[in-house]
Chains A and B, each alone.
Chain A
């Protein structure tokens, strides 16, 4: 049912969409002239109102039902028919939920940034960029037209470039931003190809039209496979699937709130969201590929988190791994499970990032304090080797971390448990129906659970438990910590809210079963997608037991294996395969970058020597030609004139003797010639 005549959702959605834009434009233009606290409060306020209208829209519309709105965009004439393109957006359960997630977390990030990005760490463009990003994400979520989706897709990529490279003076940050943008760009080419094929096949970019077309026509074959494959590849960069995932760990160079927003909750989820929405375009073979790649990414993406010492990078690898889960879920035809996990992941990953960010912020303040007292010590706030024992110092943060981490691990009573169980169930079902290589999917899935538990516990132990390794730093003493402010409300409130969101309560009354969740009940657009197969309930318990076992095993291993007493100066192995993230970057460097550079150098050399040589040659030839022409001109042309002058002179000299200025002479000649004439006349007269 399309309630296109209902104006209220339209108005609410408009408010949701345009408040971030207003924030962007307003702060872009006038941001420099107002105080930074005012800036952040203005931006936060606008995003708050945007969230409010999104929330009201959700409550008003509910998760069932669908409202489609279309604004005319452009049209052109093609084979005697007008082809209309519209900016159409669709409000249904899925988009409303996603909208709320996006705007809510954006709001929390804005709030958090008030404190985190204070102390002159942000310049004018921080909040405008955040506003622009939020806007483009909202457009992506709501859009029903693939062209508009593509535009917002690109815009998101661009905003991530701006935000990751926010501290562009740092070499590493600038490079990371470029890397992120370029890898996304490469994938966008495939996405564009997919769009073109869609248009070729279905004649429209509008999703409703495509859906209707597909349901009424039997479609299979290479084009559909290509569409699905290209779409998947196009989403591969955003969802950090292997091999286009090396940008995500590097993107941690950006500010932590940005990481929380982009690389936990929204941007990386954009790909998943899109694939869920376009689920009906994916064929069986494409899904199979997705499962394989997704599960591989899930497992192998998590492994580097076991060895790295950069706290944010651990979380980045975690994101890669969880995204792998989501993709695999879509591949197993369980798109609703993937969407569910997307939702829960947004909450607990953002919470994790923000709590880690609180720790980083505190350490940063310590660093500043020491520097202020002229005690310069080299320390990296992200390095977990200098942390430790912070659980006593930052209890609230510790609790938030515990809650969100448990949700990530998939412990019962938490939301992550529900969503992960759904996914694991789907994977087992998939393996059940397609034997053979498909079996690795659930195996890898369970393995990932173990690894996840391991690294999360490791991080928690290193950060919050044990002795404070800060004491091992030069110049450090406890009184420094006391001077450092760590419990600012704007930092705590988001943490609290996100932790609350990580509990099961929000989603289902049953802590162990997600099948009755309100989330899954109304998936207007996903009507065709099968969620949980009811014929699988018998093995349901097996999966749960299996995953719980791995979680506990992982925790135990972490507790046992993580050295509690490790010095600050513990070395990180530089050459390990995990540290180099499976050498993906090196492969890309070797396969793609180096040949390109060599080719451009060769072309430059050719241009320099070859083309310039040709130009020089032409110049030489022209100069020689000019010389020849000059010689010719001098000898012949001037020669002719000289000849004429000479002959005229000689002629004149010869005849000058006639005129001596003597009039009598003239008269003589006159008479002489007249005589000649007279004789001639006479002779003529006589003869005739």
Chain B
């Protein structure tokens, strides 16, 4: 019961932030909306029992990327926010398209209602994640899986991170952030 309610609240928040994102012109508002969406989706993850994912979302995503984004937005300052968006008429085709997509997806997805039932655990009572081994926490389980089942992908991702690190370092070699620029 509480789980369902939580679910609905989070869902509503996500929807609201999303719609706000579409219409706002303020970059800071947009970034903060994104942050809220991420937090809500983290909550949703918790409801399904993917605790590690939820937390990593908050720590990495919100705490890393969004902060970086905000830094950049603040750096840009007021002057850069003077541009106007596209007139509504130019936006129309995209809106129409996306509307169609939405309808399509919803129609299709609602159709799936009868097929799978979600068993949502309660907040406190159902912290037991459905897992093959009871009494094993989610992070531990994920950790074991990473190093046994998905070790190749893990290494690959590590390599990708390294490459991206180098690339970004190189790209931003001559980037200086002075107010005069």
A, B co-complexed: yes
Q: Which residue of A lies closest to B98 (CB)?
A: A671
Of B100-108, B139-147, B162-170, the one touching chain A: B100-108
CB pair A671 B101 closer than 8 Å:
yes
CB pair B93 A675 closer than 8 Å:
no
Given contacts A668-B97, A675-B104, 4 further A-B contacts (CB under 8 A): A671-B97, A671-B101, A675-B100, A682-B104
A672 to B94, CA, bound (A): 9
Q: Return A671 CB to nearest CB of chain B, in Å.
A: 6
A505 lies within 8 A of chain B by Cβ: no
Contacts of B100 in A (CB 8 A): 675
Chain A 653-688 interface 0/1 with B at a Cβ cutoff of 8 Å (1 = within): 000000000000000100110010011001000000
List which B67-114 residues lie within 8 A (CB) of chain A: 93-94, 97-98, 100-101, 104, 108
Q: Which residue of A lies closest to B104 (CB)?
A: A678
- Range class of the A interface residue count: under 10
Q: Which residue of A lies closest to B105 (CB)?
A: A678
A675 to B97, CA, bound (A): 8
Interface residues of A (CB under 8 A from B): 668, 671-672, 675, 678-679, 682
Contacts of B101 in A (CB 8 A): 671, 675
CB pair B94 A668 closer than 8 Å:
yes
A672 to B98, CA, bound (A): 9
Q: Return A235 CB to nearest CB of chain B, in Å.
A: 116
Q: Which residue of B lies closest to A685 (CB)?
A: B108
Contacts of B104 in A (CB 8 A): 675, 678-679, 682
User: Would you list the 9 A-B pairs with minimal beta carbon distance, nearest first?
Assistant: A672-B97, A675-B100, A668-B94, A675-B101, A671-B97, A678-B104, A682-B108, A675-B97, A668-B97
Contacts of A672 in B (CB 8 A): 97
Q: Return A662 CB to nearest CB of chain B, in Å.
A: 11
Contacts of B108 in A (CB 8 A): 682
12 A-B interface contacts by CB (under 8 A): A668-B94, A668-B97, A671-B97, A671-B98, A671-B101, A672-B97, A675-B97, A675-B101, A675-B104, A679-B104, A682-B104, A682-B108
Q: Return B143 CB to nearest CB of chain A, in Å.
A: 37
Contacts of B93 in A (CB 8 A): 668
A172 to B94, CA, bound (A): 115
A675 to B93, CA, bound (A): 13
Contacts of B94 in A (CB 8 A): 668
Q: Which residue of B lies closest to A678 (CB)?
A: B104
A678 to B102, CA, bound (A): 12
Chain B 25-62 interface 0/1 with A at a Cβ cutoff of 8 Å (1 = within): 00000000000000000000000000000000000000
Contacts of A678 in B (CB 8 A): 104
Q: Return A490 CB to nearest CB of chain B, in Å.
A: 120
A668 to B101, CA, bound (A): 12
A479 to B101, CA, bound (A): 146
A672 to B97, CA, bound (A): 6
